[in-house]
Structure 1
């Protein structure tokens, strides 16, 4: 009786264990399909640690297709037609997918949604967004293609950039920096950085002040156009032309021409190119007026000298 009870107890234990862990073995396989005590399903393993675990390769596709698949993963094979890995939501008809279409290129990986291919990766590594035929490393196609770089933080500590490198070092980058808000930078390792704060442009400097263009260095140009007022008022009838004595006294007292900044002022504050050109033209026009006055005076003196010569000649002749 005791032996029977022990045998029944042992059989009950086996049945209880088998109800929690069952294995279906397949022909010519070392491991089968396992239903573990935690209700996970395993293929090729007796210890599935996830809801569905596969130890080995998985192939989805048509029969009769040859070729070796030597790496771990999922193999989706096609007999020449388009093949897709699709996600479907029954309440929406968007259905994003990853596909390979031999009619386009069997080596090209396509990404799409809403029934349309939106992105592609070619065999040479080119990536296309909005096009499946990218000819560059990255090609974006659309009516208004935009690349947006956004930092997850706010304030002057935020920064981000597009970086350009050669094999050994960083060549430069384009981005927004952390030193101030609303700053766009174009920089390279050799210097000559360009800063664009709030619409102003700084070359070699980030301190543009109120200037639209600030350059810390020399500028070479074939032509510069300055639109400002001009000094033709010198030729107006009501213009009070200083006398040369007044000009002389101002030079003796100040050491420079009137309305022209001194050397110390220029060294400290610089000059406004358009304004300075206008003031220099004013002095040239004043010199022109002085020259005209002197010419008139010389003409008058020459006439008087001629008259005096004629008078002297008559006097000499009368004494003969």
Structure 2
């Protein structure tokens, strides 16, 4: 005892100057447990049997019985701990109500103040985890972080007032000043950024990353919002994805909507929007790193399941009354309305071959026989073929003109035959007239 007093005076000379303070507490009994360090007025108690505890501060660890391997530093730190083991409580009232909770680390005044049975928690900062009683596996770092947590488990809150009002929500990660501050019972949320998810109360399975992202969301679920001040319009909307600075939905309850890009806006459920709708320079590239148009695609666009392309804003209407118009592409690659113009690849595809000297014109008798057998002209698709295979406009136009030119040749042939017949008939008439005249003259 003489040696202990000597070293106490040497290490803590203030014992000679202050009043009502006891720097090193002499044990009330010869052996209060084993391997314990007890410093402070009322630190621990004489009946303790616990081992390897370090207790420093007025009334710190005063209730320890069999608790072991604890470190309690600060006035009333670990005040109610009885059997809890391997806890570290640093700060006034830190872990004040802990009784049998194990493996906790509470650093800061009133950190984990109300914890009783909770285990494996880490609370760092004034009032962090203050109200937790039986919650486990929580990590709260920052002043008032997780203050109201009572039975919540498996949460990680980093930042002043992060998750401050969470009571029973589990498996949440809040990083940043006041992130998820209003959360009460929602689960599986990840909020990163100052004030992100600020008003969220029961919305679950959300991911908000960035300053004030989804700040006003209350009950919306399964949303992914990434970008500063994005998604601030959402309150009850679900299953939305917003990526980019100030990317928004236009209503608070939108469902299954996607907006990507700075200032992008989406106004309809089940819609996907790329880019700011007020920015006329937006260009989206697929297969290219330098898109020149709102949608610039390198490759083939395949429309499945009877898909259609609709052009809603051409310079002229797609339809005028009941008159169909022709859609084409100009020299700049832009889609425009134009006159119908069809082209062929080579001259042999056109109908001029009908007028070639080597062209074999089918006799009309043969044509008549073919029509009787097949019900359509030779070389012209049947109705069944048109239904099954459709029509190639270039080929069908060439075929129709071929039939017209064949008809012209038939007409020419008929005219030649008619003139030849008329000439022969006229010659016969003239000959008969001459014979009649001769007979009359002989009489």
Q: TM-score range by the shorter chain?
A: 0.3 to 0.5
Structure with greater helix percent: 1
Give the TM-score normalised by structure 1.
Answer: 0.46
Give the TM-score normalised by structure 2.
Answer: 0.36
